[in-house]
Amino acid sequence: MAWDPEAFSRSLGGQSPATRRAYVGDLEAFTVWAERARVEGPAEVDRILLRRYLAFLTTRRYARATVARKAAALRCYFAWQRRRGVLDDDPARRLASPGGRSRLPRVLDHGELEVMLDGDDLAPVAPTLSSNDVTKPPRLHDALGARDDAVLELLYGCGLRVAELCGLDIGDVDLRAGMVTVMGKGSRQRRVPMHDRCAQTVELWLERGRPVLVSEVSPPHAAFLNRRGARLGTRDVRRVVDRRSPVPTHPHALRHSFATHLLDGGADLRVVQELLGHASLQTTQVYTHVSKDRLLSVYGATHPRA
């Protein structure tokens, strides 16, 4: 019986492209290992075989988080085979996996954010575009600077995931209302407000910077383009952050900082959940561990003996 990875990939239509690629790759790696053990299809897989596979991955020194993801992919795959009637029983239903080590996300301090968002000597691509200067055509250097400003403002000002930002179309940005419509994980759509500075920066990019980068290969509706005129990719965003950050960091740190600073300012956890697009409040609760300043200030202000 065939493993049918292509049909499995199609069944993951509600997942992000990255998740689909990872899960299908995990399945294909398992099938290679299983076929070496003379297991030729999902009907021949039992719980013991799956536990042996996870043990094998551990001996190969895979990271705990990687093993946990591979186990999740196998649970998803065998549950799908059970639903479609290929299997009478799901061997992965209670498959346990090692949890990833709990790591608090990197949070940028206000000084680091000022350098990234306002630009200084560490930012070689600094915009010189002005919304008032409509007579002089902007140069490529200036257009890239305007784009980088808009990218960083949206990542921090709206807490967007990098993939969400790269997938934005022009129609998703409502400058008059100061809102951006985002398609998040699991095809969940949400509307996130933009503060005034963010909206102005995005408007400057769309009206004055983006036309400079448009080429024959440019998707007509893509909000962000790279210097070749193609839709901006996740690696492009990583290069933007590397250019502008005063410390080594990751683009996702801007999303972490967005959530943590909101909680430090007194935002309700459920409001932050909605802004981040988390399906579960439990996912958002990690930021309550990050927000130490908020915890100490509330304790000091409310405890009678503090």
What are the residue numbers of the active site? 161, 185, 252, 255, 278, 287
Distance CA 235, CA 103 (A): 23
Enter the tokens of residue 35.
Answer: 């076929």
Tokens 């740190």 belong to which residue?
253
Nearest-CA neighbor of 222 among 274, 169, 171? 169
Specify the DSSP class assigned to residue 206: I
Helix axes 47-59, 64-83, angle to 10 degrees: 160
Q: Are 260 and 107 in contact (CB under 8 A)?
A: yes
Tokens 């990687």 belong to which residue?
66
Q: Which residue pairs from 12-15 have beta carbons closer than 8 angstroms and sit at least 24 positions apart in sequence?
A: 12/76, 14/186, 14/187, 15/185, 15/186
Enter the tokens of residue 256.
Answer: 């972490």
Beta carbons within 10 angstroms of residue 306's beta carbon: 9
- What spatial distance separates the first Cα and last Cα of the chain, rounded to whole Å? 67
Nearest-CA neighbor of 158 among 168, 145, 143, 171? 168
Specify the DSSP class assigned to residue 226: -
